[in-house]
Chains A and B, each alone.
Chain A
Amino acid sequence: NAGVTQTPKFQVLKTGQSMTLQCAQDMNHEYMSWYRQDPGMGLRLIHYSVGAGITDQGEVPNGYNVSRSTTEDFPLRLLSAAPSQTSVYFCASNPFQGAQPQHFGDGTRLSIL
């Protein structure tokens, strides 16, 4: 049982480059979300989705795009990477909107030079 799978685990980008962080879950969960975690801090919500075709913004959405074409996948796109986006990114899923525990992936560590 894979749960929530994030790829890649590590990535280094140059300022201005674009990339997509992948997230896939095999639990048929409707709700998926992306967070960033900066050193010594909790997680901040970037974007979330309550089902295929539906996405919405979280606390810190600027500079990021998402789409949800299938229940399983929820990719996060950085359009033009900036040093301020250096962080650890976590994807999570749960079966119902917020009322159930979230299952987390192991994160993508992203450095932007």
Chain B
Amino acid sequence: SQQGEEDPQALSIQEGENATMNCSYKTSINNLQWYRQNSGRGLVHLILIRSNEREKHSGRLRVTLDTSKKSSSLLITASRAADTASYFCALIMDSSYKLIFGSGTRLLVRP
């Protein structure tokens, strides 16, 4: 499969702790995107990182990209109960403009 493989599948942490989710892929990419999905809702875009970028920040979110290892990570710092959601990485491959999603990480932040 060319889609992103996410690790872990599920993560449970205490409020205030940091959460790290990883995404690995198999082919060259144009860019990699992270999305969040609250239960019963559509996906919301968080961050887009291009293949020539190594790190991006947005508020409490930090995304890294290592194209040599074909992997990306999403770090959420100082987590809050409201961060409870599923998080998906999605890839745009070099040879296509279709967005290919991983299977997601389910994050539970305990108050």
Residues of A near any B CB (own CB < 8 A) = 4, 31, 33, 35, 40-45, 48, 50, 58-59, 90, 92, 97-107
Contact = CB atoms under 8 A, between A and B. Distances in A.
Contacts of B97: 31, 50, 97-99
Interface residues of B, number: 23
Given A42-B88, A101-B33, A106 B98 contact: no
SS of B interface (majority): strand
A98 B29 CA distance: 11
Nearest to B45: A101
B78 interface: no
Given A98-B92, A99-B92, A33 B99 contact: yes
Contact of A99 (B31, B90, B100, B101): B31
| 9 A-B pairs with the lowest CB-CB distances in the bound complex, closest first | A98-B97, A104-B42, A42-B101, A101-B45, A97-B97, A43-B101, A98-B92, A42-B103, A104-B43
B41 interface: yes
B102 A42 contact: yes
